Structure 1
Amino acid sequence: MHTKEIKNFDAIVIGSGQAGTPLVFKLASQGQKVAFIEREHFGGTCLNVGCTPTKTYVASARRMWEAKHGDELGIEIPTGAKANLGKIKARKDALIKKSVDGIAQGVKNNKNISFFKGEAYFEDHKVVAVNNELLTAEEIYINVGGSAFIPEGYEDVPYLTNQSILELEEIPEHLVVIGGSYIGLEFGQMFARLGAKVTIIERGSAIIEREDPETSQTIQRIMEEEGVDFRLGAECIAAQKDENGGIVAKINCSKEGAIEIKGSHLLLAVGRRPNTANLQLDKTGVKTNEKGFIEVNDHLETNIQGIFALGDCNGKGAFTHTAYNDYEIIAENKFEDKNRKVSDRILTYGLFVDPPLGRVGITKKEAEEKGLDVLIGHRPFSKIARAKEKGETEGYMSLVVDANTKKILGATILGVGGDEIISGIINIMYADKSYEVIRDSVQPHPTVSELIPTMLESLTKL
């Protein structure tokens, strides 16, 4: 029996990420009294330590690359361009502040939203505690996101995560990255362009192993040409402090045997974990899987009626766009009598190295592993007029088509504009139309996109 007074709300939203924030405003606009809880900063991962800051840094790194590659296009740029990380960070901080302040102002001015800053946890069935207050509601929405996974053995090592690396004021002399996946690659290329020496250590035999081998190999080669050093097949990875304040990574590498790599900074980029450990979900009966992700159905409801999980913590996608789609599913099903489902969405994402990777659906490798009857389209960027004119011919585009239904099952566009061009293919997939729709379309010249119809004229059997 609780002796403390329990405050009653129509809904409680825990976490202010890309699903929680729009949901709070939507619920409030429909006249609901909402308790909004956030322990750290408005806007969640994407805004504060994810997409917004990293893409800001990627843009600065791109400027640096352009300053060093003028000669190829007949532009003589005097040597001496150098990156000022203090200024780059200040620009990033200002961009974030504007968005965070916008959310804070919106919350403050809304009479239907009661804001609580602090860590939330369940005290009982549908009773949430925060800052020694108890709140209850028939509907509770959990949007607590994820954070960097820190493996055992790094407790006494001065490591960086995707979050703390964004607070550096000086460019690392030698950045050692453990993890050759999306986060490690973006930071690796970015800091190499800004002037750091970069070594990326990966346990697997290839970087981003879920992608087609051609994608992994192309990105690795592009980054190696920019000076990034890769150590693949690295078993027994460990690290320790060295006497000069830097770090020493010890690896047993497939190529060279046991070696030591000395660096000034260490970035751990070995995956993410959901922020569910402190929620005390057992008090309300909500089930999680062995990795800590909250289990939800197709409408994002947990095993407890009225409790929902949105965003990275539900394991149904680890992206800003999937989190925002979670919000849309909840809001439209609740207020517009729709029947939107998680299973309706098509997997899509980008990798924002340069040139960028745009991905949708399955890869050629997956089609092979599943023994699917498919047709493959393939075109190197070196055959695309616009890429040649831009002087950016790295990469390729590839498409997987179901041989029987003629529907597109997946696509990979690695090359200049790939992160934007992929949306044309995504739209055809959502329209559930044959690949022939694009093949027979007329695209503007001279663009990179115009080579997609050309590629589709000559599909080959896998």
Structure 2
Amino acid sequence: MATSVRYDALIIGSGQAGNPLATALAKAGRKVALVEKHYLGGSCINYGCSPVKAMLASAERMQQVATAADYGVKASAPRPDFRAIVARKDAIIQAKREGVEKNLTEEQPGITVLHGHAAFISPRTVRIALLTGEQQVVKAPLIFINTGTRAAVPPIDGLAESGFMTNEELLDLKQLPEHLLILGGGYIGLEFGQMFRRFGSRVTIVDESATLLEREDDDVCEALRGQLEADGVEFVLGARVRHVSRNADGVYTLTATTAAGERRLRGSHLLVAVGREPNTDDLGLEAAGIDTNDKGYILVNERLQTNVRGVYALGDVHPGPQFTHLSYDDYRVVRDNLLHRKRRSAKSRPLPYVVFTQPQLGRIGLSETQAQEQQLDYRVATMPVRVVGRAQETGHSAGFMKVLVDARDHLIGATVFCEQGGEIMSMIQLAMAGNLTCDQLQNMVFAHPTWAESLNNLFAKLKKAD
């Protein structure tokens, strides 16, 4: 028989919004329960940002050793110890998991962590199937859904039967793939593709679209593809995979339709990275009357409230861009509205993001395509990175920078594809938030020789858009 417990707030999912919200509510004197059926910390710590970036750091170090001769340094050809690379990643992630658990269970009284699966049985009542085998019914006037997403699996003939990896399984491999096939040319596929190519795997990225990264301008997609091809990554774009099979030796065959006819692509491992879908199908949302869209994402207003009073959805589980920093901002929106009596909205906020290839792709504001679609009056400046002094001195000369400026000389968007692209983009974001003009940035005194100094020359190249 299930025991019944009442809390002031229930948080379903230990993600980048749910964890700090639990702490904030507990500090405000609320009795909080947080339920998680997998690892504490959410996808970012366990399956996303942190483990991927840890392994990317190993791939970057290999590249530094491989190119040491270009800097006058003699070194033997690097060889990856893949088990050691994965072990380093695991140690970093375990420390993060332990930090989250300590914060939730030891450092903040008032939080009860429940390990199990939660499902609604009424608008403000949830049944939790604990991992111990027991059941608990939790009632709370405030419920926050922070269950995130999982890898989407396309309906391709033979795919399920053949077996495949998502980002979760790929991160736990103990043997380096001989030939990694990646289905999907988004940022997940690109980061993994460059990483495993630098570790020594042959890599082929297959995508139905004719270009990479659908939100980016054509010049960005071409530059990024060119860089990865220079690393040895193969691309098969404009390819619709119709069938997947796997033979007795474990070799995958992807049969795809392309503009040039049918192609068969073979590899030792297959990663599916075509997008994400929400973890909402087993939450019993229908029992609570919570509205979703046709893809299962929970519909919310600007305060992240669902259509059911007292129930909120935070992070990737509601429609919109899926980034850790936006999930954390969801927490701030709810915290300020509930606890600080500040009116804060999740709409119309900045959307910075970084693709952690090398070079990095940093983006903020509008792309040039978006500015044209909105019929804005703007000027644009584009500059190749090879002319930047810091690039010449460090040897990181690939890529380019592009900024858009409106009729009042204020920045409306930037694309920075270069070494430290994410950091340079963040500088531009700060300038946008401070309402600085392009003239101020062009004439600002930056330390020499830094990457930041490139902004002086970049804004000098502004011209009317074609």
Q: Mark yes or no: TM-score above 0.5.
A: yes
Aligned pair 1:348/2:345, yes or no?
no
Q: In the alignment, what sits opposite 1:21?
A: 19
Q: Distance in 2 between matches of 1:224 and 1:111?
A: 52
Contact 1:13 1:140 in 2 (8 A): yes
Q: Distance in 1 between matches of 2:272 and 2:175?
A: 18
Matched residues, percent identical?
Answer: 37
Say which SS state the counterpart of residue 79 (structure 2) adopts.
coil
Contact 2:241 2:254 in 1 (8 A): no
Aligned pair 1:402/2:406, yes or no?
yes
Q: In the alignment, what sits opposite 1:458?
A: 461
1:37 maps to amino acid: V
Q: In the alignment, what sits opposite 2:343?
A: 339
**1:200-238 deviation line (CA, Å, top 9, x unaligned):** 001111111220111111111111111111001102443
Aligned pair 1:176/2:187, yes or no?
no
Pick one of 134, 144, 149 that aligns with 2:137. Answer: 134
Say which SS state the counterpart of residue 249 (structure 1) adopts.
strand
1:156 maps to amino acid: E
Q: In the alignment, what sits opposite 1:57?
A: 55
2:105 maps to amino acid: K
Q: In the alignment, what sits opposite 1:145?
A: 148
Contact 1:11 1:33 in 2 (8 A): yes
Contact 1:310 1:326 in 2 (8 A): yes
Q: Distance in 2 between matches of 1:189 and 1:203?
A: 19
Aligned-pair CA distance for 1:344: 4.3
Aligned-pair CA distance for 1:437: 2.9
Say which SS state the counterpart of residue 392 (structure 1) adopts.
coil
Aligned-pair CA distance for 1:316: 3.1
Aligned-pair CA distance for 1:423: 0.8
Pick one of 103, 109, 130 that aligns with 2:100. Answer: 103
Q: Distance in 2 between matches of 1:207 and 1:399?
A: 20
1:206 maps to amino acid: T
Q: In the alignment, what sits opposite 1:92?
A: 89
Say which SS state the counterpart of residue 343 (structure 1) adopts.
coil
Q: In the alignment, what sits opposite 1:206?
A: 211
Q: In the alignment, what sits opposite 1:223?
A: 228
1:22-421 maps to which residues of 2 (within 5 A)? 22-79=20-77, 81-109=78-106, 110-131=108-129, 132-153=135-156, 154-254=159-259, 256-403=260-407, 405-421=408-424
Q: Distance in 2 between matches of 1:245 and 1:446?
A: 52
Aligned-pair CA distance for 1:315: 1.9
**1:76-109 deviation line (CA, Å, top 9, x unaligned):** 2122x11111111111111111111122223322
Q: In the alignment, what sits opposite 1:427?
A: 430
1:129 maps to amino acid: R
Aligned-pair CA distance for 1:73: 1.5
2:221 maps to amino acid: S
1:103 maps to amino acid: V
Contact 1:296 1:314 in 2 (8 A): yes
Q: Distance in 1 between matches of 2:71 and 2:310?
A: 60
Say which SS state the counterpart of residue 225 (structure 2) adopts.
helix
Aligned-pair CA distance for 1:4: 5.4
When residues 327 and 164 of structure 1 are mapped into structure 2, their CA distance, relative to the original with a 3 A threshold, is: same
Q: Distance in 1 between matches of 2:217 and 2:2?
A: 57
2:279 maps to amino acid: N
When residues 333 and 262 of structure 1 are mapped into structure 2, their CA distance, relative to the original with a 3 A threshold, is: same
Say which SS state the counterpart of residue 229 (structure 2) adopts.
helix
2:151 maps to amino acid: A
Say which SS state the counterpart of residue 420 (structure 1) adopts.
helix
Higher deviation after alignment, 427-436 or 339-348: 427-436
Q: Distance in 2 between matches of 1:209 and 1:99?
A: 32
Q: Distance in 2 between matches of 1:98 and 1:175?
A: 29
Q: Distance in 2 between matches of 1:349 and 1:121?
A: 33
Taking structure 1 as the reference length, the TM-score comes to 0.96
Contact 1:311 1:317 in 2 (8 A): no
Say which SS state the counterpart of residue 117 (structure 2) adopts.
coil
Q: Distance in 2 between matches of 1:424 and 1:357?
A: 14
2:223 maps to amino acid: T
Q: Distance in 1 between matches of 2:450 and 2:105?
A: 46
Aligned-pair CA distance for 1:317: 2.6
Q: Distance in 1 between matches of 2:103 and 2:324?
A: 21
Say which SS state the counterpart of residue 279 (structure 1) adopts.
coil
Contact 1:158 1:247 in 2 (8 A): no
Say which SS state the counterpart of residue 96 (structure 2) adopts.
helix
Taking structure 2 as the reference length, the TM-score comes to 0.96
Q: Distance in 2 between matches of 1:244 and 1:167?
A: 21
Gaps of 5+ in 1: none
Aligned-pair CA distance for 1:60: 0.3
Pick one of 431, 443, 465 that aligns with 1:440. Answer: 443
2:177 maps to amino acid: P
Q: Distance in 2 between matches of 1:430 and 1:15?
A: 32
Q: Distance in 2 between matches of 1:435 and 1:47?
A: 37
Aligned-pair CA distance for 1:5: 5.0
Say which SS state the counterpart of residue 277 (structure 1) adopts.
coil
Contact 2:63 2:198 in 1 (8 A): yes
2:86 maps to amino acid: K
Q: Distance in 2 between matches of 1:237 and 1:438?
A: 51
Aligned-pair CA distance for 1:435: 2.8
